[in-house]
């Protein structure tokens, strides 16, 4: 980026010399010459104005993580780092050396009442969340809600008076090549300002979230910038900085602010995000698949499976259908269909066009509500008693983690001395069955555990990653503690 600015400076200084080589039209000869230094000073003033305007609304977020089991000394496979990047790997998969170790990140105040937008991975697994403002005041923050599917979270601090707020922009109006300014706390260096451009928009298949739709920028983003704002030249927030490509330079990703705003509003209103749902498993069309189904490559997505009892099942969709249009607009790839269905209000009827047996077929589907696979802010009943936190394992997550299983409950936390730890469960295990029944819903797991009487036990079937073979399945027994 520095090289780019130097080149720009050189070109501006060279502009008068270049102009002298060409005779200017008579009507332009009397016009005053543009001063390249003045132009650079104006640009410098614009960057400084953005920093002055937005920095007070950028906060430092630090968390005290929940205690990890004493026996959880084994680290997750190094391949996890490839998919999540070193910052995410070090923070959430590698054993913490000290119980008082703090994770840090950034956030941005978006409401004078104290609402803060940040990343889910900044506060995930946090026992306590501390927010420090630009005036060095510290507040204990409350988690309003989080959405792992987009890696967003909303915090709330209670201050005695109004707080500085960043103005939100419109990420739908972004163009590649526009200026981009990032503010955050990389490596604990509070409120660092970096400048770059928008390198790309609507960047998918990054592998960071289920609904990848990122702004790509070359503004310097480093560990600790996560959750901080990406701003335009007017000082308006256009994105929430989220991830970097660990192996590269000048490749950072931000969640578009329009998407973040919608998630934030839902988290504040109900503590969770409601999304539309079809109930199908889909895949991209390769050259070979496209030819077999009578369509062009990239001209739709293939339905690999239709879930029984789902809206797609009720509408008559079939495995082998190729979805080419939704609501009259073309569908080209899996992320496109996923995002657009998720954005539909449940209960609304949408028209799909599918290619079935090489012929177009119109299908009307009443969109359902996506089943919740993430706990609302309040933990599921029984979590404290059992010392066990889980989330539904999605096919995408299983693929990113290189797991041989695609369904089950991923163990995200095990408390020391808890029944879960005594049973031998570890973070990263995938619970496949509970009492010889498929583990497909966190709520069902806690209900089954809650039905046990003191001293009774239940059989747990788990998959554990690791080893030369990539992992193995095993049975464990979890017992409900006897009352004293």
**Quick one: pLDDT at residue 171?**
93
Range of the domain at 225: 57-274
13 pLDDT above the threshold of 60: no
The Cα–Cα gap between 60 and 64 comes to 14
226 is catalytic: yes
Regarding predicted confidence, which is higher, 283 or 276?
276
> Does 376 map to a domain?
no
**Quick one: pLDDT at residue 95?**
42
Residue matched to tokens 């931000």: 254
Structure tokens at 298: 């990239």
Regarding predicted confidence, which is higher, 94 or 256?
256
246 pLDDT above the threshold of 80: no
> Does 224 map to a domain?
yes
% of residues, the chain, pLDDT over 70: 77
> Which position among 106, 147, 151, 199 bears the catalytic label?
151
The Cα–Cα gap between 265 and 275 comes to 13
Structure tokens at 483: 């009352």
Best CA proximity match to 380, nearest among 318, 292, 448: 448
The Cα–Cα gap between 247 and 238 comes to 25
> Does 377 map to a domain?
no
- Do 259 and 298 fall within a single domain? no
Give mean pLDDT, residues 255-261. Answer: 93
- Do 195 and 69 fall within a single domain? yes
**Quick one: pLDDT at residue 5?**
56
- Do 451 and 358 fall within a single domain? no
Q: Is 44 exposed, middle or buried (0-12, 13-18, 19+ CB in 10 A)?
A: exposed
Q: What is the CATH classification number for the domain harbouring 414?
A: 2.30.42.10
What does the chain come to in residues? Answer: 484
> Which position among 106, 121, 171, 440 bears the catalytic label?
121
**Quick one: pLDDT at residue 81?**
52
> Does 375 map to a domain?
no
- Do 227 and 340 fall within a single domain? no
151 is catalytic: yes
- Do 98 and 41 fall within a single domain? no
CA atoms within 13 A on the CB side of 173: 9
Q: Which tens digits make up the pLDDT trace of 421-431?
A: 888 898 888 89
**Quick one: pLDDT at residue 175?**
94
Q: Which range among 111-120, 126-135, 373-382 shows the weakest confidence by mean pLDDT?
A: 373-382
379 pLDDT above the threshold of 80: no
**Quick one: pLDDT at residue 380?**
43
Structure tokens at 236: 């308006």
**Quick one: pLDDT at residue 412?**
83
- Enter the pTM of the model: 0.63
Q: What is the CATH classification number for the domain harbouring 188?
A: 2.40.10.120
The Cα–Cα gap between 251 and 215 comes to 10
Give mean pLDDT, residues 83-112. Answer: 62
Of 322, 338, 369, the residue at which a domain comes to its end is 369
pLDDT, averaged across the chain: 80
DSSP-derived 3-state class of residue 8: helix
- Do 190 and 290 fall within a single domain? no
Q: Which tens digits make up the pLDDT trace of 322-371?
A: 999 999 899 988 888 988 999 899 999 999 999 998 899 999 999 999 88
> Does 96 map to a domain?
yes
> Does 113 map to a domain?
yes
121 is catalytic: yes
With a CB cutoff of 8 Å and minimum separation 6, the contacts of 275 are: 149, 341, 342, 343, 346, 369, 370
DSSP-derived 3-state class of residue 274: coil
**Quick one: pLDDT at residue 102?**
61
- Do 230 and 183 fall within a single domain? yes
Of 334, 369, 404, the residue at which a domain comes to its end is 369
**Quick one: pLDDT at residue 72?**
41
- Do 224 and 341 fall within a single domain? no
271 pLDDT above the threshold of 70: yes
Structure tokens at 30: 């009397």
- Do 220 and 283 fall within a single domain? no
Give mean pLDDT, residues 96-112. Answer: 71
The backbone torsions φ and ψ at residue 429, rounded to the nearest 5 degrees and listed phi first, read -65, 155
- Do 347 and 300 fall within a single domain? yes
**Quick one: pLDDT at residue 98?**
42
> Which position among 62, 106, 171, 226 bears the catalytic label?
226
**Quick one: pLDDT at residue 99?**
40
Of 21, 39, 56, the residue at which a domain comes to its end is 56
- Do 344 and 388 fall within a single domain? no
Quote the number of domains for the chain.
4
**Quick one: pLDDT at residue 139?**
93
> Does 378 map to a domain?
no
- Do 214 and 78 fall within a single domain? yes
Query: Residue 76 to residues 84, 242, 471: CA-CA distances in angstroms?
Result: 12, 22, 11
Regarding predicted confidence, which is higher, 423 or 117?
117
416 pLDDT above the threshold of 90: no
> Does 374 map to a domain?
no
């Amino acid at each position: 980026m520095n090289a780019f600015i130097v080149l720009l400076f050189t070109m501006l200084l060279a502009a008068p010399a270049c102009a002298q080589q060409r005779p200017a039209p008579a009507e332009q000869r009397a016009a005053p010459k543009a001063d390249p230094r003045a132009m650079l000073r104006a640009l410098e003033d614009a960057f400084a104005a953005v920093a002055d305007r937005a920095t007070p609304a950028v906060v430092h977020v630090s968390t005290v993580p929940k205690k990890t089991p004493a026996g959880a000394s084994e680290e997750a496979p190094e391949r996890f780092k490839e998919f999540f990047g070193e910052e995410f790997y070090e923070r959430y998969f590698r054993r913490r050396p000290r119980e008082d170790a703090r994770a840090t990140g950034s956030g941005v105040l978006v409401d004078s009442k104290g609402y803060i937008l940040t990343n889910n991975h900044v506060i995930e697994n946090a026992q306590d969340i501390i927010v420090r403002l630009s005036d060095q005041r510290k507040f204990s923050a409350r988690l309003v809600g989080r959405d792992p599917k987009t890696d967003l979270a909303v915090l709330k601090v209670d201050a005695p008076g109004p707080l500085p707020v960043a103005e939100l922009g419109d990420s739908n109006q972004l163009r590649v090549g526009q200026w981009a300014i990032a503010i955050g706390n990389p490596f604990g260096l509070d409120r660092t300002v970096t400048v770059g451009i928008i390198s790309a928009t609507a960047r998918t298949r990054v592998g960071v979230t289920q609904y990848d739709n990122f702004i790509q920028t070359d503004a310097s983003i480093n560990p600790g910038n996560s959750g901080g704002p990406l701003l335009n030249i007017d000082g308006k927030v256009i994105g929430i900085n989220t991830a970097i490509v660990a192996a590269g330079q000048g490749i950072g990703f931000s969640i578009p602010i329009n998407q973040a705003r919608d998630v934030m509003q839902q988290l504040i209103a109900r503590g969770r995000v409601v999304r539309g749902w079809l109930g199908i498993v889909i895949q991209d069309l390769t050259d070979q698949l496209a030819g077999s189904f009578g369509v062009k490559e990239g001209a739709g997505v293939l339905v690999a499976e239709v879930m029984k009892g789902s809206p797609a099942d009720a509408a008559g969709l079939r495995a082998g259908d190729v979805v080419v249009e939704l609501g009259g607009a073309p569908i080209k790839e899996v992320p496109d269909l996923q995002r657009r269905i998720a954005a539909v209000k449940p209960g609304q009827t949408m028209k799909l066009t599918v290619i079935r047996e090489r012929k177009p077929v119109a299908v009307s589907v009443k969109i359902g509500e996506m089943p919740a696979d993430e706990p609302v802010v309040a933990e599921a009943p029984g979590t404290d008693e059992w010392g066990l936190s889980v989330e539904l394992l999605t096919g995408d997550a299983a693929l990113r983690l290189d797991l041989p299983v695609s369904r089950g409950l991923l163990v995200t936390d095990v408390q020391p001395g808890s029944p879960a730890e005594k049973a031998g469960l570890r973070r990263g295990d995938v619970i496949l069955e509970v009492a010889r029944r498929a583990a497909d819903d966190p709520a069902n797991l806690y209900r089954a555990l809650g039905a046990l009487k003191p001293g009774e036990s239940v059989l747990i079937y788990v998959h554990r990653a690791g080893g030369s073979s990539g992992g193995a399945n095993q049975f464990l027994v979890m017992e409900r503690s006897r009352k004293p």
